[in-house]
């Protein structure tokens, strides 16, 4: 009898522990990771840090536009410079600082873009990083849900001609998205559209890592995306080769990831539409679509 009672008590205790554990679980879809928050955001790389008199000077590896930093980029780098000083003061005597100066790079020269004055020497303002892509923090934000709306063909058809010379594609971006891209050390005016798209994905909360040259993995909200970047060199045929398409499909299938994305400045062959109809997890973001996809990432 005592053994039976002990067994019943054990079952009750286990049940209470399971109920308590469920109540402590965060709300949200089962099995999903939370959308990355500010602690996991991309930060501009620091090239140099100097203290000159009572001024801390933080040099960022951020390419500045020829017209100089706009207000959004200047605010971003100014706030980021304050955060660099906040980290440095744990190991350096910075109690006498009266200002923090942020610098970016224009060619081979450093240019001051923002100066933060300290009302009380050594006392930094509270942390406050400008939110460049505010929509990216919303759980319902899903740029891949909009892929079916992207253009099917570009000007002149699905592909180019053998003699066509493809210029580097410069994407049109709103000011905040430009600042987000530049803060990752990428010049959006340099004509490397796939690199800009990857930077926008990072700014939109995707954890992007390079697995091999031209191959990336991106994760957001528990969903994993296999990304293949196909470049274009002068003299190459301006349309994606069918063998490249087949290799991408095979590599995505063996990756075990949830989605497959091919990024390229080349034109797409007609066969990609059949590929996408057969498998909705696969999408080709080629020359005729890449601006529209950047708009989805930048504007939500």
The domains found in the chain, sorted by start residue, are 38-117 (3.40.1350), 134-299 (3.40.1350.10)
Residue with tokens 């293949």: 228
Which phi and psi (to 5°) does residue 76 adopt? -60, -50
In the block, which residue shows the tokens 């930094």?
A: 124
- Helical packing angle, 290-299 and 193-203, nearest 10°: 20
Percent of residues, the chain, with pLDDT higher than 90 = 62
Q: 251 Cβ partners below 8 Å, 6+ apart?
A: 215, 226, 228
Asked if 100 and 82 touch (Cβ cutoff 8 Å), the reply is yes
According to the model, what pLDDT value does residue 152 have?
60
Question: Which of 83-97, 123-137, 158-172, 213-227 is the least confident region?
Answer: 158-172
Q: Centre a 10 Å sphere on the Cβ of residue 257 and count the other Cβ atoms it contains.
A: 18
Say what the pLDDT of residue 136 is: 66
The string over 185-195, giving b where at least 16 C-beta atoms fall within 10 Å of a residue's C-beta and e elsewhere, is bbbbbeebbbb
Q: Of 12-16, 69-73, 240-244, 276-280, which gets the smallest average pLDDT? A: 12-16
* Helices and strands: H and E segment counts in the chain: 7, 9
pLDDT at 39: 38
pLDDT at residue 103 is higher than 60: yes
Query: What is this structure's pTM?
Result: 0.76
Band (149; pLDDT cuts 50, 70, 90): low
Q: How far apart are CA 20 and CA 23, in angstroms?
A: 5
Question: Of 182, 200, 185, which is closest to residue 67 (Cα–Cα)?
Answer: 182
């Amino acid at each position: 009898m005592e053994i039976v009672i002990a067994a019943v008590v054990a079952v009750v205790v286990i049940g209470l522990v399971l109920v308590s554990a469920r109540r402590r679980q965060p709300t949200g879809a089962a099995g999903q990771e939370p959308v990355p928050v500010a602690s996991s955001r991309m930060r501009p790389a620091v090239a140099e840090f100097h203290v000159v008199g009572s001024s801390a000077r933080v040099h960022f590896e951020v390419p500045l536009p020829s017209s100089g930093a706009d207000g959004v980029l200047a605010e971003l780098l100014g706030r980021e410079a304050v955060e660099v000083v906040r980290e440095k003061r744990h190991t350096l005597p910075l109690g006498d600082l009266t200002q923090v100066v942020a610098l970016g790079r224009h060619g081979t020269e450093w240019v001051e873009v923002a100066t933060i004055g300290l009302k009380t020497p050594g006392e930094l303002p509270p942390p406050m990083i400008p939110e460049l892509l505010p929509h990216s923090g919303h759980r319902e934000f899903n740029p891949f849900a909009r892929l079916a709306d992207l253009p099917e063909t570009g000007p002149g058809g699905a592909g180019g001609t053998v003699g066509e010379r493809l210029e580097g594609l410069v994407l049109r971006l709103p000011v905040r998205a430009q600042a987000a891209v530049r803060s990752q050390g990428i010049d959006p005016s340099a004509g490397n559209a796939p690199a800009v798209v990857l930077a926008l994905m990072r700014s939109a909360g995707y954890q992007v890592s390079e697995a091999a040259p031209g191959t990336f993995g991106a994760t957001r909200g528990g969903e994993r995306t296999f990304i293949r970047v196909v470049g274009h060199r002068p003299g190459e045929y301006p349309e994606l080769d069918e063998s490249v398409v087949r290799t991408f499909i095979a590599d995505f299938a063996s990756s075990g990831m949830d989605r497959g994305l091919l990024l390229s400045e080349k034109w797409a062959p007609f066969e990609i539409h059949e590929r996408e109809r057969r498998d909705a997890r696969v999408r080709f973001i080629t020359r005729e679509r890449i601006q529209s996809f950047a708009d989805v990432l930048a504007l939500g």
